[in-house]
Amino acid sequence: MSKVGSLAISALRAGYRSGGLNPVEVVEAVYERIAAHADDAVWIHLVPREEAVARARALSDPNLPLYGIPFAVKDNIDAAGIPTTAACPAFAYTPGRNAETVERLLAAGAILIGKTNLDQFATGLVGVRSPYGVPRNAIHPDYVPGGSSSGSAVAVAAGLVSFSLGTDTAGSGRVPAAFNNIVGLKPTRGYFSTRGVVPACRTLDCVSVFALTCDDAGAVGAILTGFDAEDAFSRREASPVAMAIESAKGFRFGVPDRASLEFFGDTETPALFEQAVRDLKELGGTEVSIDFTPLRETAALLYQGPWVAERMAALKPFMAEHAADMHPVTRAIVEGANRFSATDAFEATYRLAELRRQVEPMWVGVDVVLLPTAGTCFTLAQLAAEPVARNTDLGYYTNFLNLLDMCATAVPSGFCTNGVPFGVTLAAPAGRDGFVLGIAGRLHRIRPVPMGATGIPVPVSRAVDGEVAVAVVGAHLRGLPLNRELLEGGAVFLRQCRTAPIYKFYELPGAVPRKPGLIRQTEGGTAIEVEVWRMPAAQFGAFVARIPAPLGIGTLVLETGESVKGFLAEPAACEGARDISEFGGWRQYLAGGSK
């Protein structure tokens, strides 16, 4: 059996550093997983196994930032020597040069596994418009995988690669992330080069990143961000620093006025969105209601206005001879460009400028906007019944971002009772990518949800440079007497979770204020509820110095298998003390068992 577990970048890096893994083993495991997954529709072209293994064996510098990390690329992005089809066989060509994004990843030590399926010519949010088949939704096969970057999202969610590249013009890097329970990073337009990408709408196109965590997405984003003089739409100010994850303690987040929220008849996703609102408040955010009207009107411009003519501009020579070779829905959408004139294009441009001006004041009152990534996820049968209408519904919260020059990160945010995932998107003005990633990452970690379909929980303990993750079990919990010590030390709440089931829990006799003691067992034990906080390393020493005996800070093992700093008690102090392990946590004991 393979010893390769999680393909999260952080997990592979740890395995490489310890010597427990090497890139050849990882690549071999990846191809075994692809075979076991048995869904050829995920891929349009797989790199031959022996070539990928040879690439892994040839890597010689373990200090490369993406050393030995396997990835996939949406098949509208060029990889030298591999056909680019854009999911249309008649369009296929074999590039002699990598897209700039692929070149950067390979130079960083990443290993290309293959090219993934997509909605033809990146036109759609559903993931089913391809002659190469429909990739199975990694969570629930009866539902659409989301598009256009369907194969890229499924490959990450199914644990077949560590990350993948997609594209995002209207939501194609976010909707598939939501439907497959992973992270989707849509950068500031122009931060990632689009040279070597088959255009959809050149003025709006972005290369996007699918990953298992926000930390991983940010790590890849830092490699991809940079000015490309050969790309006419590249931004000169693009710098890897823009992807540096920020840790915001207090922030204002905008939420669409409730009358504007649309969930398309879904009875469960409204409650999941409200839970995300509460979670952001738990993380220190302040909710601000925003007028969604100008955002919704902007979204309508993308497909109901002349921007669809950009798709015709990209495909006109091909369509002149091969229109019959296109997917019928894709062809109908692109041919819709014929109803627009140059006058229409200018009038729409003027209207967009007006809408941008209407949106500007919103950013005075909020730092980031919280949106459902999609109001609901449709079944394959629902989509087949109304393919264009359902696709339009999926763009309700996505189509306006690039038109309004916003960056965004989509993260998982719970599940419906039938197991279908729900996701939310955090968005901000151009250039705030690291800020958005930071808040999105905290929101993703607040609950112990699995990464994609892997069954492996999202890591909770990863702290940015200069910070320490610390678990508290008693009087330092939120709302209890000593929580102020954490807040005074600049700590930020991360998540409520549990320890591994290897501890005993006692009430310490005579403690003021009342406190529990946690003791690790050599055999047996119970899982105990804890809160994990992130504290500046500069304040951590002073915090520890204030802890009185018999308590101290040691290393706790969480239910995820991670280790963090946390409160432990001296065993002697618990001799004769009341064993409260059965309550599973200090709050539960105070509520139901304390006398």
Instruction: Give CA torsion, residues 586, 589, 591, 595, to 10 deg.
Output: -130
Residue entry with tokens 């090497």: 22
125-129, 319-323, 359-363, 368-372: range with lowest mean pLDDT: 319-323
Q: Which helix (H) or strand (E) holds 471?
A: strand 467-472
Say whether pLDDT at 1 is over 50: no
Bridge partners, 564 (sequence order): 556
pLDDT tens-digit readout, 58-79: 999 999 999 999 999 999 999 9
Residue entry with tokens 């998982």: 412
pLDDT tens-digit readout, 544-578: 999 999 999 999 998 878 889 999 999 998 888 99
Ordered alpha helix ranges (H), 403-553: 433-445, 483-488, 537-545
Beta carbons of 436 and 428 less than 8 angstroms apart:
yes
Distance in angstroms (rounded) separating the CA atoms of residues 368 and 2:
42
Distance in angstroms (rounded) separating the CA atoms of residues 423 and 276:
9
pLDDT tens-digit readout, 170-210: 999 999 999 999 999 999 999 999 999 999 999 999 999 99
Per-residue pLDDT, 245:
82
Q: Crossing angle of helices 100-107/214-224, nearest 10°?
A: 110
Per-residue pLDDT, 463:
54
Say whether pLDDT at 464 is over 70: no
Look up residue 395 and give its two tokens: 């763009």
Closest alpha carbon to 584 in 518, 529, 506 = 529
Closest alpha carbon to 196 in 241, 221, 233 = 233
In angstroms, how far is CA 574 from the centroid of its own chain?
43
Please report, for residues 35, 357, 403, 435, the alpha-carbon distance to residue 296 in angstroms, rounded to integers and kept in the order given: 43, 14, 12, 24
Look up residue 404 and give its two tokens: 């309004």
The set of catalytic residues is 74, 148, 172
Look up residue 131 and give its two tokens: 């002659």
Mention every residue, 6+ apart, whose C-beta is less than 8 A from residue 536.
466, 467, 468, 489, 490, 491
Residue type, 113: I
Distance in angstroms (rounded) separating the CA atoms of residues 76 and 301:
24
Say whether pLDDT at 406 is over 70: yes
With cut-offs at 50, 70 and 90, classify the pLDDT of residue 594. low
Per-residue pLDDT, 116:
98
Number of residues assigned to the chain: 595
With cut-offs at 50, 70 and 90, classify the pLDDT of residue 109. very high
Per-residue pLDDT, 595:
54
Ordered structural domains, the chain, with CATH: 9-445 (3.90.1300.10), 467-592 (3.10.490.10)
pLDDT tens-digit readout, 208-262: 999 999 999 999 999 999 999 999 999 999 999 899 888 777 899 999 999 999 9
